[in-house]
Structure 1
Amino acid sequence: MITCIRRCALSVLALAAVASPVAAAMAQDRPAPISESEVRSHIAVLASDEFEGRAPGTAGETRTLDYLAKTWASYGLVSGTNDTTRPWFQPVPLVERKPYGQAVSAVARGKALALKEDGVVLAGRNPTDRVTGEPVFVGFGVKADGTLNADVQGRVVLMLSAEPKFAGAAKLPNLRDRQKMLADAGAAAVLITAPEGASWGALRAQLANGSMRLASDDKGAKIGGVLRGDVTQALMRAARLSPDDAIASAQDAAFAPIILPVTLDLATSALVRAFASHNVIGKLPGARPGSGAVIVLGHWDHFGICRSEEAEDRICNGAVDNASGMAVLLTVAERLARSAGAGAPLDRDVYFMGTTAEERGLLGAYHFADNPVVPLDQILVALNIDTVAIAPKGAPVALVGRGENGLDEIVDQVAIAAGRTVDSDTEANAFIRRQDGWALAAKGVKSIMAGGSFSDMALLQAFLTTVYHQPDDELTDATPLGGAADDANLHVDLVRHFADEAKYNPAPTGD
């Protein structure tokens, strides 16, 4: 994405004329820039061992919510739940499952088929589950029109985890949605291939940490699982298929599911816990009630105590993902509240929300989208902030959501007026469905994620393939915070623009 420098320069020249009025308006009442040290101070607290990795439903959640709410309140924000019986915290009912035992065996043509059990990770819905049967390979699980491609009632299903690609097809269901579709159609077990390029050790450790679902959407197959490449190959060979042939056939619009001549016997045991986690929501009241709202959000959660007692470092602290994003939310709220307190209130209400269980499937954001504290058609813009402590100072601004909702030109103008360059390609859109803004965008709310971390894919991938979701995601002297401070200041400007009724007055959106 940094290769767009020439395009970015042209974008700067093309937008200079329209950006100059924005720059002039911003210069009239610009707060002092947010510093790296301010961002660092909040990350140091949220990513400390005292907060135990901020897992939902733990003491770490309690400390995190307390810190966020009290800090926002100290700046002058009020509760944003709009519910006097539940100030600050929106309950999010969840169901957690932690696997603690599994057994896998296979028979092909009357003979035992050796499968390496460490190449299979299973998770059951109930304290104990067992499923047997011949697996049906369904390719991507869907046809070019997005509907299921097989009758899976009572079946063991094997599906590719890669995103489906059919010539001429529109957007198709993502992996999470395809798994849900198969479960809703009655599949007894849904097994997927390990995502290409993923570290099996890291994936296995993450899956062993358990899963969560919204209690309102607690549906699924009896058993779910992920297969390492060698296990998938062993099953495919039983049907005289190579993995390459299987993938190639699955990409054909005329693909027909294949029954693999293997009898699988899958058994699981799990700990099942229902509990309430929370989104934390603060509000900076605007001067013109009824003029709409802007929401700035990021997820506060991470993976908590994520390693066994024998490990030297047991805590996944989540400094970059996403204590850095929450630090930006805190500093942006402070600057805007300070301006409002000095007699320069914004027109619109601005909500600041820390969501729970993003790491488990955007659950807190989905719950908010289904149970908004303000009607969705009154939310004019949602700005999501996630994983910002990656890029150096001066990184170009990339958009997750470019070309999706008509916000590009405005964000580009504000960024250029603030002295930033713009990354105008759409590479960052690969992350659209992997961030909390998607839960709102799916409901029709204009949502975007803007910042430097997604402008350099090589730099981002270096993080994602090393310390991401590992105990090594800790705050150090080497953690790059120049880009995070830049993005914090950018969001001050973005919120001020979108919360100004004269500058931004779009048609209503949302359900």
Structure 2
Amino acid sequence: MRFVYSLCLLTLISGCSYQRQQPPATVQFDEQQYRRDIQQLSSDAFEGRAPTTHGEKMTLDYLVNAFKNMGMQPGPDGSYLQKVPMVNYTASEQQQVTLAGMPLQYRKDIVLNSRHGLKKIQIEQAPLVFVGYGINAPEYQWNDYQGLDMTGKIAIILVNDPGFAAPETGKFTGKIMTYYGRWTYKFEEASRQGALGAILIHQTDAASYPWSVVEHSWTGPQQDLATTSDTPRVQVEGWMSLASATAVFKQSGLKLQQLLHRAAREPLHIALKQNASIHFANHSTYADSYNVVATLPGQQRANEHVLFTGHWDHLGKDESLSGDKIFNGAMDNASGVAGMLALARQYSAQAKAGHPLQRSLTFIATTGEEQGLLGSRYYAQHPLYPLQNTIGVFNLDSTNIYGRTKDFIIVGKGKSELEQYLEAAVKRQQRRVVSERHPESGGYFRSDHFSFAQYGVPAAFSGGGSEPVDAATARYKAKMQQQMKGCYHNVCDQYHDNWDLGGALEDLAVYYHAAASLADSDDRPGYYQGTEFYPLRPASQHQH
């Protein structure tokens, strides 16, 4: 059975200087093949696709064979694999953690690890300092560390940024999270400040996920890039529950709820007059993981590339669990990788039918996204094709399993001219483009496209919608959302035969037309003025 979209590819996105001579009239995706790819990649046999495991080997073989069978070309070195040197850090489950004289229970109250080569973490009576949101942002006239020496101290930090907690103040960008709100930034800044450790206070609304996600994502092996940094990393990092944090602050005679109000309105740091003692064994091993890279060369400007990205990895297995131990990652992100394969097959077939694109299309299935965008970060630092000739990036992460929609979401809408290609393709489907409902979750900074945005390459993260196309789809969506509730980063993220993938396939048609139009133009999209990436690649005055 095939899912066919008779969507005419317009000859031109208004204002582009290059016109296709013979555009294909339709785009067809094989729904059954799409389903098979999702089902296979998320099967128990692939063991949750954790980097540097047997599950990775199976995943790489599957993807490389698929690209070879399409006739896609390997990277410039003749390989479909880009080596990504990694290190695995595994903190012992037996942790002795005492904050403010109170023993805290691992997993229930606190989750800590260390991305250091130390075999033992032995911290005795380190002073605790509450540093508000842990932000040093001169452009927002904000520095929680002003005049503070963090040497030998452990920072207690709020997640998200002040604009989320108090949008009425006009601080930062209100409810829309900035990169300063991401946990990755918090640990980076604490390290730059010379802190011994950094512990985030978990709040479900501010983090945009429950404590269970912390428990599953931050325990077991933690991967990182095996590269040196000029800034030493904090020795210990992790999360504590809101209840535990409230109790710790109470020991210092402080009311955390009152401090939350202050921290959102002014830079803040307060010594708790309490200490931390932390002891646990730490094991590190080094191993290589791999990005999968395949290219369909362009006919006229093969040195210029339009990229598709999607991470192949998930969380692997947790042997400490009873019952199901495998985090299959069907929606996140077997669905996105399967979508990339569907797009690659379609472009390859069109090229063989005599309709090649002018620029090259490159597909990158990345590793280590779940551990901090590791594979995409490594590619952006070590690009196989120069970033100055990387025209744009379309990222597929957790595609739509909830049926067709009247709208199409662009996460972080308003960033770059790349969105105009998506908007034109969406318009052909009589759908409308909208922003995500919860920009406070910082979605634009949480997937692989962000690694490219940091270097000024226009990158878009989009797909799905919030308004079902009809009443029957709305009923299906409500039922499926209930079935998938709590499955993000959990063992129940598994493939289901009754998934309605009509919306996902419709989104694939959007990606197809958007990337084809960009690849057949001579436009070089940039970031809009006022965005954080505008100085790196400014929007052109001549874009459509």
> Normalization by structure 1: what TM-score?
0.87
The residue type equivalent to 2:278 in the other structure is L
Tell me how far 1:312 sits from its aligned partner: 1.7
Q: Provide the residue aligned with 1:205 in structure 2.
A: 216
**Aligned twin of 2:42:** 47
- CA distance in 1: counterparts of 2:447 and 2:482, whole angstroms: 19
Q: Which runs of 5+ in 2 are unaligned?
A: 1-9, 164-168, 469-476, 528-535, 539-544
Q: What is the CA-CA distance between 1:230 and the residue it aligns to?
A: 1.7
**Residue identity opposite 1:138 in structure 2:** V
Give the Cα separation in 1 of the matches to 2:309 and 2:438. 18
Query: Residue 415 of structure 1 corresponds to which residue in structure 2?
Result: 426
* 134, 138, 141: which one aligns with 1:145: 141
Alignment of 1:280-291 (within 5 A): 280-289=292-301
Q: Which secondary structure does the structure 2 equivalent of 1:39 belong to?
A: helix
Is residue 276 of structure 2 the alignment partner of residue 239 of structure 1? Answer: no
Shift, 1:263, TM fit: 2.3
Distance in 2, matches of 1:287 and 1:68, equals: 25
Partner of 1:229: 242
What letter corresponds to residue 483 of structure 1 in structure 2? G
> Is the CA contact (8 Å cut-off) linking 1:191 and 1:225 kept in structure 2?
yes
Decide which moves more: 424-433 or 271-280.
424-433
Match of residue 251 from structure 1: 264
AA aligned opposite 2:133: F
Instruction: Note if contact 2:405-2:466 (Cα within 8 Å) is conserved in structure 1.
Output: no
Structure 2 distance, partners of 1:320, 1:453, is: 15
Partner of 2:183: 175
Structure 1 residues 501 and 468: CA distance shift in structure 2, 3 A: same
What is the CA distance between 1:414 and its match in structure 2? 1.3
Does structure 1 residue 469 correspond to structure 2 residue 489?
Answer: yes
Q: Distance in 1 between matches of 2:369 and 2:483?
A: 18
Q: What one-letter code is carried by the residue in structure 2 that aligns with 1:388?
A: T
Q: Does structure 2 conserve the Cα–Cα contact (< 8 Å) formed by 1:233 and 1:243?
A: yes
Conservation of the 8 A alpha-carbon contact between 2:405 and 2:465: no
What's 1:398 paired with? 409
Q: What pairs with 1:37-76 in structure 2 (closer than 5 Å)?
A: 37-76=32-71
Q: Which residue pairs with 1:384 in the alignment?
A: 395
1:338-362 Cα shifts (integer Å, max 9, x gaps): 1101111110010001000000111
Deviations 1:260-292 (A, max 9, x none): 122221112122111110110000011013562
Equivalent position amino acid for 1:265 in 2: S
Contact 1:423 1:455 in 2 (8 A): no
Instruction: Report the RMSD for the aligned CA atoms in angstroms.
Output: 2.9
Q: For residues 427-470 of structure 1, what are the alpha-carbon distances to aligned partners after superposition, in whole Å with 9 as ceiling and x for unaligned?
A: 465410011101101110011022115778x9798688511111
**Greater Cα shift, 353-362 or 116-125:** 116-125
| Superposition map of 1:201-350 within 5 A | 201-216=212-227, 219-253=232-266, 255-289=267-301, 292-308=304-320, 311-350=322-361
Q: Deviation at 1:183?
A: 1.5
Distance in 2 separating the partners of 1:246 and 1:412: 43
**Which residue, 360, 364, 378 being the options, matches 1:367?**
378
Cα distance in 1 between the residues matched to 2:455 and 2:482: 33
1:27 and 1:394 map into 2 onto residues whose CA distance is 30
* 1: CA distance, partners of 2:398 / 2:382: 26
In structure 2, relative to structure 1, the CA distance for the partners of 1:291 and 1:121 (3 Å cut) is: closer
User: Which ranges of 4 or more aligned residues in structure 1 deviate by more than 6 Å?
Assistant: 18-22, 24-27, 458-464
Contact 2:411 2:435 (8 Å CA) reproduced: no
In 2, Cα distance between equivalents of 1:462 and 1:387: 17
2:119 maps to 1:99: no
How far 1:20 sits from its partner (Å)?
Answer: 9.6
**CA apart distance, 1:481:** 1.3
Partner amino acid, structure 2, of 1:121: V
2:382, 2:34 → 1: CA distance?
Answer: 31
The residue number in structure 1 matching 2:76 is 82
**Structure 1 match to 2:511:** 491
Q: Any idea what SS the aligned residue of 1:474 has? A: coil
Could you list the runs of 5+ residues in structure 1 that have no partner in the other structure? 1-15
- Residue 324 of structure 1 deviates from its aligned partner by 0.3
Aligned residues: 483
> Cα deviation per residue 1:110-134 (whole Å; 9 max; x = unaligned)?
xx44545531222133220111322
Q: Provide closer, same or farther for how the CA distance between residues 63 and 482 of structure 1 changes in structure 2, counting only shifts above 3 A.
A: same
SS in structure 1 of the partner of residue 306 of structure 2: strand
Partner of 2:531: none
Instruction: Say which SS state the counterpart of residue 232 (structure 1) adopts.
Output: helix
SS in 2 for 1:216: coil
1:222 CA displacement: 1.2
Shift of 1:28: 4.5
Q: Which amino acid aligns with 2:352?
A: G
Distance across 1 between alignment mates of 2:419 and 2:259: 40
Task: Write out per-residue CA displacement over residues 460-497 of structure 1, whole angstroms, 9 at most, x where no aligned residue.
Answer: 98688511111111111222311111122222212211
Structure 1 41/384 Cα, relative in aligned 2: closer, same or farther at 3 Å?
same
1:398–1:428: 8 Å Cα contact kept in structure 2?
Answer: no
State how far apart, in whole Å, the 1-side matches of 2:135 and 2:524 are.
40
Provide the C-alpha distance between the structure 2 equivalents of 1:151 and 1:510, rounded to a whole number of angstroms.
Answer: 36
Aligned CA distance change for structure 1 residues 196 and 47 (closer, same or farther; 3 Å)? same
CA deviation profile, 1:62-104 (whole Å, cap 9, x unmatched) = 111111111011111010x2113xx111111111111113101
Tell me, in whole angstroms, the C-alpha distance in 2 between the residues paired with 1:343 and 1:268.
62
Q: Which amino acid aligns with 1:182?
A: A
Q: Distance in 2 between matches of 1:158 and 1:432?
A: 25
Q: Specify the alignment match of 2:474 in structure 1.
A: none
CA contact (8 A) 2:200 2:240 kept: yes
List aligned pairs for 1:88-167, cutoff 5 A.
88-100=80-92, 101-107=94-100, 112-113=101-102, 115-116=104-105, 118-124=108-114, 125=116, 126-131=118-123, 132-143=125-136, 144-145=140-141, 147=143, 149=145, 150-165=148-163, 167=170
Q: Is the 8 A contact 1:399 1:450 kept in 2?
A: yes
Q: CA 1:264/1:32 → structure 2, altered by over 3 Å: closer, same or farther?
A: closer
Q: Which residue of 1 aligns with 2:369?
A: 358
**Alpha-carbon deviation of 1:38?**
2.4
Deviation for aligned residue 1:225: 2.4
What SS does structure 1 have at the residue aligned with 2:432? coil
C-alpha distance in structure 2 between counterparts of 1:465 and 1:235, whole Å: 32
Structure-2 change in CA distance of 1:292 and 1:485 (3 Å)? same
- 1:7 equivalent in structure 2: none
**Separation in structure 1 between the aligned mates of residue 283 and residue 127 of structure 2, nearest angstrom:** 27
Pair 243,217 (structure 1): closer, same or farther in 2 beyond 3 Å = farther
How far apart are 1:409 and its partner, in Å? 2.9
Maintained 8 Å contact 1:137/1:260: yes
Q: Does the residue aligned with 2:150 lie in a helix, a strand or coil?
A: coil
Identity %: 26
Which of the pair is proportionally richer in helix? Answer: 1
Query: Which residue type is aligned with residue 431 of structure 2?
Result: T
One-letter code aligned to 1:65: L
Q: Are the structure 2 counterparts of residues 70 and 158 from structure 1 closer, same or farther at C-alpha, using a change threshold of 3 Å?
A: same
Query: Greater relative contact order: 1 or 2 (C-alpha under 8 angstroms, separation 6 or more)?
Result: 1
